[in-house]
Structure 1
């Protein structure tokens, strides 16, 4: 599942790490209170993106393992939104990268382009459900997908969920998110 989290206890080093959306963070450096807050925000956003009725909505603050599925079995694009575990982990990975590259302008610039620029930026409070269309004409579907992708790139649309359980990992660039939204919307409408 593309929004699942891998938790590994590195017993030899005594460290705990979580990997989400291709970013690994040191969970031992993050208080349980903060991780609990992250999970609460994650659950709230999951509920919002599943139109208030998620099928599965779990988040473990100890391990940062989470699941978010809507009633139709799809997983919303959590990595595109603020107030989600993928974005919290992305921002933490950025912070850790900046700290690791203190006094290194080139390294810090890489932190920004490789990590920060990929963190979710859409506001879940501005989410509105996609209108359901009864049209099956391919041209209408393609136009709707293009329109949604264009609006998403401007930060006004909401990505729809993908129904594929073999979906690719999170896109590396939010700029590419518009393409993912268009593909997801097209797949959803089919």
Structure 2
């Protein structure tokens, strides 16, 4: 009898886990209104990130049903499951909360609710990326006139373009890291010494 009850609970949770949707009436109306405010606020920001256009063709959210739309000025709809403060994210986290509650004292079931059903971006699309790689010069060439603009921001705002300049900068940073903590610690001890 006990194993039958456990099996039926497991099947109920498994069925619930596959859908990962919630009944909006299980969430307070004030919380649903807050979720919709966040959804409507997030839409133009996500459009800006997706297509550099913050305007939207459609940006709605119904707090009663949690039905929403977000269509950017470019005609695209961002993948809302990759972001927080969106209806899919809130529904997913609420689903996890309800799943854990339905598990009762079953820790394996509760763990499964969260770990095997994560919310938010697991592998987010990286829209605005850049890579910075220092430009090294060949030995004996003096300086490199093709140094990238990103190098101008390295150690002191100037790029000498030589390997020895890079090594000197790295050595200076290493010395600063090593002795900086000692200077801070000495200052703290001196301060305590003055108090005593």
> What's the offset of the Cα at 1:113?
2.4
**Which structure is higher in helix share?**
2
Aligned residue for 2:70?
68
TM-score by length of 2: 0.49
Aligned residue for 1:8?
none
| Higher Rg | 2
Distance 1:54 1:22, change over 3 A: farther
SS state at 2:104 partner: coil
Q: Deviations over 1:20-55 (max 9, x none)?
A: x94221322211111010001001111101122111
CA distance in 2, matches of 1:68, 1:103: 39
Distance 1:22 1:50, change over 3 A: farther
- Residue 94 of structure 1 is aligned with which of 71, 96, 100? 96
**Which structure is higher in strand share?**
1
The one of the two structures with greater contact order (alpha-carbon pairs below 8 A, sep at least 6) is: 1
Aligned residue for 1:78?
80
User: What does 1:45-56 align with in structure 2 at a 5 Å threshold?
Assistant: 45-51=42-48, 52-56=54-58
> What's the offset of the Cα at 1:129?
6.2
CA distance in 2, matches of 1:110, 1:128: 28
Aligned residue for 2:148?
none
2:41 counterpart of 1:39: no
Note the residue ranges of structure 2 that are not aligned, 5 or more in a row: 1-15, 49-53, 130-196
Aligned residue for 1:158?
none
Q: CA RMSD in A?
A: 2.6
Note the residue ranges of structure 1 that are not aligned, 5 or more in a row: 1-18, 132-190
User: What does 1:85-164 align with in structure 2 at a 5 Å threshold?
Assistant: 85-115=87-117, 117=118, 119-120=119-120, 130=128
> What's the offset of the Cα at 1:70?
0.7
TM-score by length of 1: 0.51
